[in-house]
A and B are shown apart, each in its own frame.
Chain A
Amino acid sequence: MGGHSSYQPKSAFAKWFHERLPIMDLIQGQALDFPTPKNLNYFWTFGGILTMMLGAQLLTGIVLAMHYTPHVTMAFDSIEHIRRDVNYGNIIQKLHANGASMFFLAVYIHIFRGMYYGSYKAPREILWMIGVIILLVMMATAFMGYVLPWGQMSFWGAKVITNLFSAIPFFGDSIVTWLWGGFAVDNPTLNRFYSLHYLLPFVLAGLVGLHIWALHVPGNNNPTGVSVKSGQDTVPFHPYYTMKDAFAIGVFLIVYCLFVFFAPDYMGHPVNYEMADPLKTPAHIVPEWYFLPFYAILRSIDNKLLGVIAMFASILLLLVLPWLDTSRVRSGTYRPVFKQFFWILVLDCLLLGYIGSRVPDNLFWVDTPSHEGGFALTNKLVGQIATLYYFVHFLIILPILGLLETPKPMPASISEAVLAKNKPALPGHKAAVPAE
């Protein structure tokens, strides 16, 4: 693996150890000396932020597990117990609950970064696909974690989402019974969700290891999308990017703490402070904000099976994104038309998120119940259009755009782009750039 490492064991012990387990060489090569494009912007710090957040969720989660009771009669109270009785439990519980939201915030920025700069394109397809699998596992983890406090939203969210599997022809109902371990969401369900919620973050850690391994084969993409051509284009990861990442993590932690300390329930739902009641569904069931766009897609199709298929397809589609985008130019910076469609997609996803939080039959602009008669722009109709656009973007616009669009001229190398940016090109100035 080494390759980039300048590691030389200094002491006799280090040499003895190195011959038996060259881990210091690996660390030096992959984490310290690793050649990294010198033009990475702050969007490239989100991978580090995500790694930190995974660690934070593991730490706070393991602590919560020391005080939580996974039983339908006690789970709800045990969360209150953590918040009221356990030393610092109040803060640790809120760190974990808000941490999930911050984790998703970071991952969505990370994904859109990849989309804008074409980081999914060759030779980074496997890296990207591992990312999509990470996203799916993250979603499963967050979903099961949300069930554990056993509030009304926990229970009904769990019931509605597990019921999605009943749409599967023939085996649907047996699969749902199997998932529940009963004929309704009940104690066996809570127990297994707890077990899996504890397990999956460690699976995530393993996947992140693969993700970074796949990253370190071709190395980072960069804002120009132009591949690294020479040592001129890179700097060692440490100290340049360890410092940049650390600074970004600090800023991110400030935002995170603002929520934890000043608005810990801002992203939650009050009805989840009511204990689960299997005989009464709350008036509005809404998932956590990070699931809203997918929920909107599910609800925009009236056929149960097709709605479920569309929802899963909207994520699985990302697995083949590297082959749907036919343009050979990576970075959106040099793709004037793509850039506009990219931002339309971002708005479309935000719109889907908004629709996911609304009552489908209400009117879109005023969000009041629509009255019969004539054409009405309901939330549902807007959601249907936004859902359609989402798929059109990936399945029609991207493949065609790559063939039709004329990209802007690209810099010959990362160094050239950096220099051009910092010193407006003067005639003859280019010659001053040492050729390597």
Chain B
Amino acid sequence: MGIVATGEHADSDRRDFLYIATGAVGAVGVALTAWPFISQMNPDASVLALANVDVDLGPIAEGQSVTIKWRGNPVFVRHRTAKEIEEARAVPIDELKDPLARNNNLKESDPATDINRVVGGKEQFLVMMGVCTHLGCVPLGEQGDYGGWYCPCHGSHYDTAGRIRKGPAPENLLVPRYEYISDTKIRIG
């Protein structure tokens, strides 16, 4: 009796082990098979290849804005007036809805001061994504309660540094990675 019971026991242990081992290998196999089918939806090589675009700031007069298309999205380049810069600088950080700079050229934790939204020495040129941080509409320039941008979709107001001040958008307009490749030329991306 004892021997038989042990034998049965050993057998069912073996069977449990095989059962779990097979199941585990199967699960890994399913996950590995699923991955290519999920991953194929991510941006493909040709989309990723459209990496950067150059902009000549020379022809943009004070008080003028241009919109450039970069990776399918609008980028705003605004030559700000002295008054606009003044206004943006005067705002205390703790009055901002989003206190972070949202500048891909800086650290994530940098505060949203006016200078952190632009490049030092080139404060007049504000370069940022024309993509509302609420749900992605293109805000309209020189509009809204703060003299900056106004998003018509659900009523978000941005100030003259592109920082969110009022409405449903959670973040300041994103400053993309860009660099000056000459005194008047920038490369976005």
Contact = CB atoms under 8 A, between A and B. Distances in A.
Nearest to A161: B135
Nearest to B67: A279
A285 B137 CA distance: 9
Interface residues of A, number: 34
Interface string B53-89: 0000000000000010101111000000000000000
Contacts of A161: 135
Given A285-B137, A304-B170, A178 B71 contact: no
Nearest to A304: B170
Given A160-B135, A163-B136, A181-B43, 19 more contacts: A160-B136, A181-B42, A183-B43, A183-B73, A186-B72, A188-B44, A188-B47, A278-B72, A278-B74, A279-B138, A281-B152, A281-B153, A284-B152, A299-B168, A302-B168, A303-B168, A304-B169, A307-B168, A360-B154
B3 interface: no
Contacts of B47: 181-183, 186, 188
Contacts of A185: 72
A106 B42 CA distance: 37
Contacts of B90: none
B107 to A, nearest CB: 18
B155 interface: yes
A120 interface: no
Contacts of A186: 47, 72
B74 A279 contact: yes
User: Which one of B38, B71, B138 has the greatest number of beta carbons of chain A within 10 Å?
Assistant: B138
Contacts of B74: 278-279
User: Which one of B43, B67, B130 has the greatest number of beta carbons of chain A within 10 Å?
Assistant: B43
Interface string A29-46: 000000000000000000
Main SS at interface, chain B:
loop
Contacts of A178: 38, 41-42
Contacts of A160: 135-137, 153
Interface residues of B, number: 27
A299 B135 CA distance: 11
Nearest to A306: B168
A302 B137 contact: no
A361 to B, nearest CB: 6
A159 interface: yes
B138 to A, nearest CB: 4
Contacts of A188: 43-44, 47
Interface string B130-144: 100011111000000
Nearest to B137: A281
B167 interface: yes
User: Which one of A179, A279, A299, A301 has the greatest number of beta carbons of chain B within 10 Å?
Assistant: A279
A212 B153 CA distance: 41
Given A188-B44, A278-B74, A159 B155 contact: no
Nearest to B75: A279
Nearest to B73: A184
B42 A177 contact: yes
22 contacts: A159-B136, A160-B136, A163-B136, A177-B43, A181-B42, A182-B72, A183-B71, A183-B73, A184-B72, A186-B47, A186-B72, A188-B47, A278-B72, A278-B74, A279-B67, A280-B138, A281-B137, A285-B153, A299-B168, A301-B168, A303-B170, A304-B169
Contacts of B138: 279-281
A373 to B, nearest CB: 14
A366 interface: no
B41 A179 contact: yes
B44 A156 contact: no
User: Which one of B42, B43, B135, B137 has the greatest number of beta carbons of chain A within 10 Å?
Assistant: B135
A164 interface: yes
A283 interface: yes
User: Which one of A166, A178, A183, A278 has the greatest number of beta carbons of chain B within 10 Å?
Assistant: A183
Interface string A84-100: 00000000000000000
A156 B155 contact: no
A216 interface: no
Contacts of A164: 135
Nearest to A285: B153
Contacts of B154: 299, 360
Contact of B69 (A156, A179, A279): A279
A185 B47 CA distance: 12
Contacts of B41: 178-179, 181, 192
Contacts of A303: 168, 170
Interface string A290-311: 0000000001011110010000
Contacts of A302: 167-168
Contacts of A163: 134-136
A356 B69 CA distance: 31
Contacts of B38: 178
Interface in B72-129: 72-74
A278 B73 CA distance: 7
B168 to A, nearest CB: 5
B1 to A, nearest CB: 49
Nearest to A278: B72
A159 to B, nearest CB: 5
A172 B42 CA distance: 14
A370 to B, nearest CB: 12
A195 to B, nearest CB: 11
Contacts of A182: 43, 47, 71-72
Interface string A180-211: 11111110100010000000000000000000
A307 B22 CA distance: 45
A361 B155 CA distance: 8
